[in-house]
Amino acid sequence: MFDFRVRRSCRLLQMRNSTWQYRSQACDSSAIRQRMRELTIPRPWFGYEQPHVLMRREGWRDERNRVHRL
């Protein structure tokens, strides 16, 4: 219907071009989520710290904040 350029569209929406062209740098977290589910489904009283401790013992090297966020 309308054929606007990205720069003009961004200007009309009052947003920066970099916002339109943003690509996330986050890595895939499906494996860590799956392992957290496997650890917490049989033990629903676990918070986020206990699965983090168990995963550290298994060799996972993710930080506590990332485990809390996921």
Is residue 44 assigned to a domain?
Answer: yes
Is residue 20 assigned to a domain?
Answer: yes
Q: What is the pTM of this model?
A: 0.55
Is residue 46 assigned to a domain?
Answer: yes
Is residue 1 assigned to a domain?
Answer: no
Q: Average of pLDDT values for 32-41? A: 85
When pLDDT is cut at 50, 70 and 90, the band that residue 3 belongs to is: low
Which amino acid does the sequence have at 52? H
Please state the length of the chain: 70
Structural domains counted in the chain: 1
Which amino acid does the sequence have at 67? V
What does the pLDDT read at residue 35?
86
Per the CB < 8 A criterion, the answer to whether 55 and 35 are in contact is yes
With 60 as the cut, is the pLDDT of residue 34 above it? yes
Per the CB < 8 A criterion, the answer to whether 2 and 18 are in contact is no
Q: Average of pLDDT values for 12-18? A: 85
The residue range of the domain holding 62 is 6-69
With 70 as the cut, is the pLDDT of residue 18 above it? yes
What tokens were used for 40?
């917490």
Determine the Cα–Cα distance for residues 37 and 51; give it in Å rounded to an integer: 9
